[in-house]
Amino acid sequence: MKRKGCSIIFINDDHQVLLFLRDNIPTIPFPNMWDVPGGHVEPDETPERCIVREMQEEMELELKEFSLFSVMEFPDRIEYTFWKKSNLDIEQITLHEGQCLKWFDRNEIEKMELAMGFNEILDAFFSEAPFIDDTTIR
């Protein structure tokens, strides 16, 4: 049975997505690459509970009111990706994993290779645009 991962796409009012730069340690997967925040689902843990725990551990965030965007199967895992509109002030976040945080727009992300296959997920996210409500002109 494949392991489960969970991640969260934070999107701000400028339609930028928050990514973190993974640690530059050669022994970890995808060192020194940009990635979507998240982690591994523990045994007997739901993906929803996992993302709340991961954000508390990695960024000291109390995550509430988020939505499931997708469940995607990759060769190494099943990824549960959530999303939340948020204008987090990254200067005020205490990052416990990774080198730094940065906001990126769709054009920037399309020119990057992200860790863990997240290009595919973010492409779908921007294409489906769940962050734009029905009253906004697309």
Q: How many structural domains is the chain composed of? A: 1
3-state secondary structure of 109: helix
* pTM recorded for the entire structure: 0.92
pLDDT at 132 over 80: no
For residue 67, the SS3 value is: strand
CA 8 vs CA 26, 66, 86, 96, 138: distances in Å: 25, 9, 11, 16, 23
Distance from C-alpha of 78 to C-alpha of 26, rounded to nearest angstrom: 24
Q: Does the pLDDT at position 18 exceed 90?
A: yes
- CB 129 within 8 Å of CB 138: yes
Q: pLDDT grade, residue 137 (50/70/90)?
A: very low
Structure tokens at 24: 């530059």
Taking only the tens place, the pLDDT of each residue in 26-35 is 999 999 999 9
The stretch 40-63 carries a mean pLDDT of: 97
Question: Measured between alpha carbons, how far is 8 from 52 in angstroms, rounded to an integer?
Answer: 10
CATH number of domain containing 69: 3.90.79.10
pLDDT for 33: 98
pLDDT classification of 133: cutoffs 50, 70, 90: low
Determine the 3-state secondary structure of 39 from DSSP. Answer: strand
- pLDDT tens digit sequence for 81-127: 999 999 999 999 999 999 999 999 999 999 999 999 999 999 999 99
In our burial notation (b when 16+ CB lie closer than 10 A, e otherwise), range 84-98 reads bbbeeeeeebeeeeb
Whether residue 55 is predicted with pLDDT greater than 60 in this model: the reply is yes
- Residue 43 structural domain: 3-128
pLDDT of residue 39 exceeding 90: yes
| Residue-level pLDDT at 129 | 84
**Residue pair 125/109 in contact by the 8 Å Cβ criterion:** no
In a domain, 134, yes or no: no
